[in-house]
Structure 1
Amino acid sequence: MRITAAIRSAKRAPLLQVVKSAIATIAAWLLAGWVVPGQLPVFAAIAALLVVQPSVNQSLTKGLERSIGVVAGVTIAMLLGMLFGSSGWIMLLAVLVSLLVAWAFRASSGTGNQVAISAMLVMAIGSISAQYAFARIVETLIGAAIGIIVNALIVPPTLVAPARRDLGLLGAELAASLDRLAAALPSVQTPAQLHDLILQARLLRPMRDAAEASISAGEESLTLNPRRSAHRSELREMRTMLDRISPVVTQVIGMTRAYFDHYDDTIAAEPAAAAIAEQLRRAGHDVRLAAQVAEVAPESLALTTAIPALTTPLVLRAPASDHWILIGSLMEDLRRIHGELAGEA
């Protein structure tokens, strides 16, 4: 693994996030220095810097972790310092005790690490008096509060655009997979074409997972967000669409796999193949329609009509004996797709 891959992110953080972190850090430093004079307000600056997160809810969580960790760590350092002094081995003892206390109370990893770091910092750069410990706690609370306030008031982040993008890509690829399978059914396929068909269908699963993660992140970003009312209904429609087409993703992958496993050149001549292909094209149309209704469809997904095309289940006569397993499997999956897209599942 390259060293740069371990220290660099896949994408750059928004510049606004950097600006907000800087504003919160400077404001916390100035305010804490005024409220608690005498020491450099390092704890306040660190708290503000760590608390500015990609969402207001994450900022609140990080603020609680930081505050509780500092209170516990400073208290442990003060008690150990009063009992044993401030020699080097006492600092190591403070770290050990802090980790054990965090483990005993089942604290999160962030809180547990914060307890140990705070205890070590207090013993390394400060004194062990109760007055100093109280000042550092107040300083940390000021920094955490400023970080939360800055993140909530200065364009609080709403991760709606990534959710719309990923869901739109999923809808486009799902409709394309339905069209590809529809084009393949009534025609003879080469081994290379069959492998390409199944590989493209399998790409739907990670795309669905990415859309799920993006929508969840978007919902989380609206928690405690002052701008949530403007985006809540939009994300609700996206969640509804994802819940609607997720089973269709499973069915399309299954249909493509069944076609791949049971393929032979005589399937193209099977009358049911052309009929199923037509239904698959209609299903692709309805997936595009669902994407446009949820306002996540890319501009390339043009529709010829806004009326659902997959209106009634397909009824076929019995297929040839060599193909009844495949045709039956495709028909069952098509029935489920119809139920999902028609809201009858």
Structure 2
Amino acid sequence: MQQNSRHQLSLLARRPEVVTDILQVVKTVIAATGAWWLSDNVLNSQMPFLAPWAALLTVHATVHRSLSRGAQSTIASTLGVALSFVIGNYLGVSVWTFALALLVGLTAARLPWIRDEGIAIATTGIFVLGSGFDSQQPFLGERILELCIGVAVGIVVNLLVIPPLRDQQAARYVDSINRRMGDMLVNMADELDDDWDTAEADDWFKETESMSHELNSAWQSVRFARESQKANPRDRLRRKRIPSDEAQDSQMSSEDASYENILQRVDEGISHLRHLTRTLREGSYENGQWDTRFREQWTSVVRDAGRAIADPDAEVEPIYQRLEQLSVRMVEDKGLPERSWPLYGSLIASMQHIAVIVDDVASARSARESG
């Protein structure tokens, strides 16, 4: 029991998102502590909390976000300091001027170009006015300098301490959806080989809706992965270590097999899979009497399609060609009831669309992994 728990904890600790979160906490602690040390021991500041507070605001999950949010934090905090000094100098510090500073700061925080960090205007005003404005009045430049130091320390720490690349997390989402689609097709084939009813079809339909929800999470993860590559020294160093010819081939493969392209194709696959489940749920199968030859051949294709999309290395015969051959055989079979063709034709057409997507996703995944 303990061994299983340790194994699960070990697997959890190796997950990319968990490692990134832990590193994020560590980097934030380093940045804030370093900024406080500089402010207290180098600048001998009377308000040493401004620099670590600015560093805390600056260390975000990606380098690009740290740079953009750091710039916003600097501007917002500077405006907050300036606002506090103007109100404190001309109106004095009282309940009403404190409220006025908050009112102006919170209103200015709605400006579009600093909306993400605009609240720093109000919070900086609270710090400056609430910490004894009279003693701070001559030191406007020093307060702004402390804020800039905090932002700079936060950016430097995020650049140097293992800046995250979220491509592994994005790959996990993509592969998870591929496996779910493949497993569903295999399960569907197994159920259709035996007795089944509309309850199974309803469950399959609900499963496609669940896949769509996971696909949205995958899109968010992919966008985050793209953002994590911007201004990231790890990404540039990794490219420099690859020889120029290999780097060019890898870039071409990654463009063809980008996560965005894969997810677009997977989204189409889920749509066709949902249409397939609707056909099974609402089609002409009231008596449950399928043509035995069609059912056996069609479910064999469905099972192999599931294996192919879940595992690109699986050895299966070309799916699309098998569906064409099945259509030809069914047309040549004079004993097939005509009323069955709307159902069978729809099932074949849906699987043909899925078969094309299966091949695209499998090829793209192989290219992505080789790249």
Q: Following superposition of structure 1 onto structure 2, how do residues 178-217 of structure 1 map, counting pairs within 5 Å?
A: 178-217=185-224
The residue number in structure 2 matching 1:97 is 104
Q: Please tell me whether residue 273 in structure 1 is matched to residue 295 in structure 2.
A: yes
Q: Please tell me whether residue 121 in structure 1 is matched to residue 130 in structure 2.
A: no
Relative to 1, partners in 2 of residues 1:126 and 1:222: Cα closer, same or farther, differing over 3 Å?
A: farther
Q: Following superposition of structure 1 onto structure 2, how do residues 1-345 of structure 1 map, counting pairs within 5 Å?
A: 14-103=21-110, 105-127=111-133, 131-229=138-236, 230=238, 237=257, 239=259, 240-262=261-283, 263-269=285-291, 271-290=293-312, 303=314, 305=315, 309-312=318-321, 314-315=323-324, 316=327, 317=330, 320-343=337-360
Relative to 1, partners in 2 of residues 1:60 and 1:324: Cα closer, same or farther, differing over 3 Å?
A: same
SS in 1 for 2:231: coil
- 1:211-265 CA-partner distances (Å, limit 9, x unpaired): 2222222222222211124489697645043333221122112201221222434
Structure 1 residue runs without a partner (length 5+): 1-9, 293-302
Given that 1:47 and 1:143 are in contact with CA atoms closer than 8 Å, whether structure 2 keeps it comes out as yes
Shift, 1:65, TM fit: 2.5
Given that 2:32 and 2:52 are in contact with CA atoms closer than 8 Å, whether structure 1 keeps it comes out as yes
The residue number in structure 2 matching 1:295 is none
Structure 2 residue runs without a partner (length 5+): 1-16, 240-249, 362-371
Relative to 1, partners in 2 of residues 1:106 and 1:192: Cα closer, same or farther, differing over 3 Å?
A: closer
- 1:160-184 CA-partner distances (Å, limit 9, x unpaired): 3322222222111111112222334
**What's the TM-score once normalised by structure 1's chain length?**
0.81
Range moving further from structure 2, 163-172 or 268-277: 268-277
**What's the TM-score once normalised by structure 2's chain length?**
0.76
Relative to 1, partners in 2 of residues 1:164 and 1:38: Cα closer, same or farther, differing over 3 Å?
A: closer
- For 2:116 and 2:359, how far apart are their aligned partners in 1? 46
- For 1:13 and 1:95, how far apart are their aligned partners in 2? 35
Given that 1:179 and 1:284 are in contact with CA atoms closer than 8 Å, whether structure 2 keeps it comes out as yes
Root-mean-square deviation over aligned CA pairs? 3.0
- Across the two proteins, how many residue pairs are aligned to each other? 321
Counterpart residue identity of residue 19, structure 1: V
- For 1:136 and 1:161, how far apart are their aligned partners in 2? 41
Shift, 1:139, TM fit: 0.6
SS in 2 for 1:27: helix
Given that 1:251 and 1:333 are in contact with CA atoms closer than 8 Å, whether structure 2 keeps it comes out as yes
Percent identity for Structure 1 against Structure 2: 26
SS in 2 for 1:79: helix
The residue number in structure 1 matching 2:6 is none
Given that 1:285 and 1:309 are in contact with CA atoms closer than 8 Å, whether structure 2 keeps it comes out as no
Relative to 1, partners in 2 of residues 1:29 and 1:235: Cα closer, same or farther, differing over 3 Å?
A: farther
